[in-house]
Structures are given as structure tokens and as C-alpha cells.
Amino acid sequence: MQRYQALVIGLGAMGAATVYQLAKAGVTVAGIDRHHPPHTFGSSHGDTRITRLSVGEGAQYVPIVRESHRIWRELEAESGESLFEQSGVLVLTSSPDFDPHDASDFTLRTLKLAQTYGIEHTLLNATQIRQRFPQFAHVLDSAIGYFEPEGGFLRPERCIDVQLRLAEQRGATLFKGETVTGISSDEQGVTVTTNLRTLQADKLVISAGNWAGDLLGSPFDQLLSVYRQQLFWFEADAELVGASPTFILTHGAGDSNVNYGFAALPGEGSLKVATAQYHTVSTPDTLDRTVSPAQGQAMYEQQVQGRLAGVGPTVVKSAVCAYTVTPDHHFIIDEHPALQHTLVASPCSGHGFKHSAALGKAFAQWCQHGSSELDLSSFSLQRFAIPST
Ligand SMILES: Cc1cc2nc3c(=O)[nH]c(=O)nc-3n(C[C@H](O)[C@H](O)[C@H](O)COP(=O)(O)OP(=O)(O)OC[C@H]3O[C@@H](n4cnc5c(N)ncnc54)[C@H](O)[C@@H]3O)c2cc1C
């Protein structure tokens, strides 16, 4: 039976970063994935992921994303690949319900965090938004915008591919197309069984994405919910290509009135727009991975028409991807309550990619030293009252 210092289950955003950092630190490591990452069955596909230093989701994320930005550049230098496009991020609210004192407004939260942490930004009024970003010509007079020049987007598939390649070059073993079916532990370490082999290790990191609830059982299956999301690339005017920032637009109350999108990229002629839905729960096995023309039309009418100038109704491309969300929408990163020597990283509730490079480093440190330089205590399991089965 093969034995390693560390094993990693799931080689998506989190797992690829962990395997890379472990291999870089000279740890003998093997990674296992049921698919062939980067792939289109989990949470890490669709060409682009937003990254921003002022993480409106919470102050605890700021040191993580800062470290990630540093690592993406390090990875670019090592691989020669472009991973992080610093297009700037515009977070804006243009809503008839906008209340400038509403502490829950995402733009205001982002602004406040940037002010607290000294993150470079510009605060824009409606006239300035329209002048600077003509695709937002339709914003209401009450609109406000937060522009962060250091933000932008990541190329998720490339980030995963680069880290896995560099990990292999540094001696990591990757078992792809192989599904983990059993995990056990004792004083000596962990034993992981796949459909093809059994492996042993001193430490185990589990980053199984949408499948984590099924693989880990209680309490994770009660805490993790999978939500199908749709991504659309709409045809965009030539003037928008290369000119548009990555953006998050709040145009009303509730999740269905928030959308986000990316710079129209040279050579693609389209602009990606998406929303987040948290009302219909799914599973990775039953997820409908097709998108109908009616769904594309609904997205255009509700999110694009009258909101994004220069973006037409023709859907150039579409995709389905899934979030796995905890009850408070924050991450779970903690030692497994029953398995010894095992760290669990939840798939991060729809906002984890930007943090994955630094989290992978933190997980590698946990494997080596039992703790990490980054403070991950706010992601502990203990914050949840676990429902009894
Ligand atoms: C539509 C969408 C938009 C998003 N936008 C953003 C954004 O703009 N910015 C941002 O920061 N984040 C964003 N996120 C969130 C981010 O992409 C995720 O948090 C992150 O990709 C999750 O990575 P992961 O490694 O946990 O999961 P994944 O990348 O899905 O990896 C899990 C891996 O585990 C493998 N696996 C599962 N079970 C087993 C098993 N039994 N045996 C072996 N292998 C197994 C799977 O094959 C998979 O490769 C978005 C997510 C989605 C879906």
C-alpha cells in the first residue's frame, strides 16, 4: 500500500492549490479527483472569477485575498501563464430602494471595509459612473459606485491547471478519474480507499466541492446545500471589449436583483453576466447542466436590458455551475470531528475562488505544522448548532 505524508481529496480550486503548496514545501503528497481537473462538473469552471481586496462578505477574508493576490503573481512568474487580470472592480448600487444608511447594502459594506483597511478605491456618484463606464449609462441618479483598481478577475481553469502541473513537476502524484469511496483513520494516520486502490498518509485534506456532503456525511451533509447557477455570455459591442471593468451590480432588494459580470474580453465579442440563486436546492448528481433559450431570455430581460448598455440579447455561450453553501454563507475550514489527522475545506459558498491560492498554502502548513499563519478560526464548525440526526 502506498503511503504519503499528505493526501488531498478533490483537485479543484482548493485541492490544486493545496497539492501545489505541499509539493513546493517538499512534502510527499498525492491528490485524487473523480474527474480530470480542470473540468466542468464542479464549482471552478466558466472562464472567470471575480477577485477584490475589499471583500464585502466580511473582514476575515481580507488577509486571505491579499495573500492570494501575491501567490497568483508568483504562479504567473513560475509558469509564464496569465492568471490574474487586474481589470479593476466596480461594485455599484443603482436601485429605487437604495438607502444610503443601509448597512446591508453590498456596495456600502465594500466601501466601509476598504476605508477601514486602507484599500485603494474611488467613490463614484451617478454622473461619474456614467462618464467613466458608459456601459452603466442607465444608472439612476441616486446610484453609488465603489471602484477598486487592484481588483479584477482570475482564470479559474488555468489557475487549477498551472498549480497541478507545477505540483507534478515537484513530485506530487495525481490520481485523476478516480473516486474516493471510503476514509478511515487511527493514531498512525489516514487510509483512503478509491475505486482503484487504497492509500495511506499522515495527514488528509478533503476539498470535495459539491460532493463534500455526500462523501463526509454528518454533520456536513446537514450544513452544505448545493445550488445550481447559470452563466451567460451575451454579445457585446466592440467598444466594450477590453474597456469594461469586472462588476457587481445591485439594482433592487433581494438576491435576484444582484448580478455580476466581467470585462468583455478581446477576441470573444461577448460579456459574461450571472446571478446567484439560493432558493432551489440540488445535488451534483441530479443537477440540470443544460440551459434553455427561455432561461437566456429571462436573464437578459431581468438583468441586462436597461441596465447594461452595449450588451445585446444574443446568447453566445452559456454554462451551469453549482455553489455549495453553508447556513451563514461563510466557509467551513476545520478538522473533521470524527476522523483524526483530517482537515475539511468546504467549497466556500460561491465566493471562494479568489481565496484559494492562500487557503491552499494554509492547508499545506496545517499538514506540516498543525496550524497556519493565516487565522482561519472564524471558519470553524463550532459556530453551528449541529442538528441531531
Ligand atoms: C457560478 C459560480 C460563480 C462563482 N464566482 C466566484 C467569483 O466570482 N469569485 C470567487 O472568489 N468565487 C466564485 N465562486 C466560488 C468558487 O468558484 C468556489 O468557491 C471554488 O471554485 C470551489 O472550489 P473547490 O475546490 O471547493 O471545489 P471544486 O473546484 O468543485 O473541486 C472539488 C473537486 O472534488 C472532486 N471530488 C468530489 N468528490 C470526490 C471523490 N469522492 N473522490 C475524488 N474526487 C472528488 C471533484 O471532481 C472536484 O474536482 C463561484 C462559483 C460558481 C459555481
Domain boundaries, the chain: 2-49+156-223+327-383, 89-149+225-325
pLDDT of residue 269: 87
Closest CA to 304 of 259, 339, 347: 259
pLDDT of residue 386: 73
Query: Is 174 close to ligand 1, i.e. is its CB under 6 Å away?
Result: no
Please list the residues that pair with 323 across neighbouring strands. Answer: 227
Name residue, grid cell 479568489.
Answer: 354
Query: Is 215 close to ligand 1, i.e. is its CB under 6 Å away?
Result: yes
Q: DSSP assignment of 237-248, as one string?
A: -GGGBTTPPEEE
HSE-CB at 63 with a 13 A cutoff on CA atoms is: 9
pLDDT of residue 388: 58
Q: Which atom of ligand 1 is nearest to the CA of 208?
A: 34
Query: What's the CA-to-centroid distance between 311 and ligand 1, angstroms?
Result: 28
Residue nearest ligand 1's atom 4 by CA: 350
The answer to whether 129 touches 139, Cβ cutoff 8 Å, is yes
Q: Which atom of ligand 1 is nearest to the CA of 16?
A: 25
Q: What is the mean pLDDT of each run of 10 residues along the chain (389 residues)?
A: 96 98 98 98 97 96 98 98 97 96 96 98 98 94 98 98 98 98 98 98 98 95 96 94 90 95 88 95 94 97 97 96 96 97 90 98 98 97 79
Enter the C-alpha cell of residue 281.
Answer: 436546492
Q: Which atom of ligand 1 is nearest to the CA of 181?
A: 41
Task: Give the active site residue among 48, 93, 110, 250.
Answer: 48
CATH fit for domain 2-49+156-223+327-383, picks 3.50.50.60, 3.40.50.720, 3.90.1150.170, 3.40.50.150: 3.50.50.60
CATH architecture of 89-149+225-325: 2-Layer Sandwich (3.30)
- Angle of helix 156-169 versus helix 13-24 axis, rounded to 10: 30
> Cα separation of 362 and 112, whole Å?
27
Query: Is 321 close to ligand 1, i.e. is its CB under 6 Å away?
Result: yes
Name residue, grid cell 451590480.
Answer: 249
Helix locations, the chain, DSSP H = 13-24, 62-79, 106-117, 126-132, 156-169, 212-216, 220-223, 293-299, 356-369
Enter the C-alpha cell of residue 279.
Answer: 432558493
Pocket of ligand 1, candidates 69, 353, 356: which has the most ligand atoms within 8 Å of its Cβ, to mutate?
353
Query: Is 296 close to ligand 1, i.e. is its CB under 6 Å away?
Result: no
pTM of full prediction above 0.85: yes
89-149+225-325 matches 2-49+156-223+327-383 in CATH topology: no
The answer to whether 250 touches 92, Cβ cutoff 8 Å, is yes
pLDDT of residue 389: 53
Is residue 279 annotated as a catalytic residue, yes or no?
yes
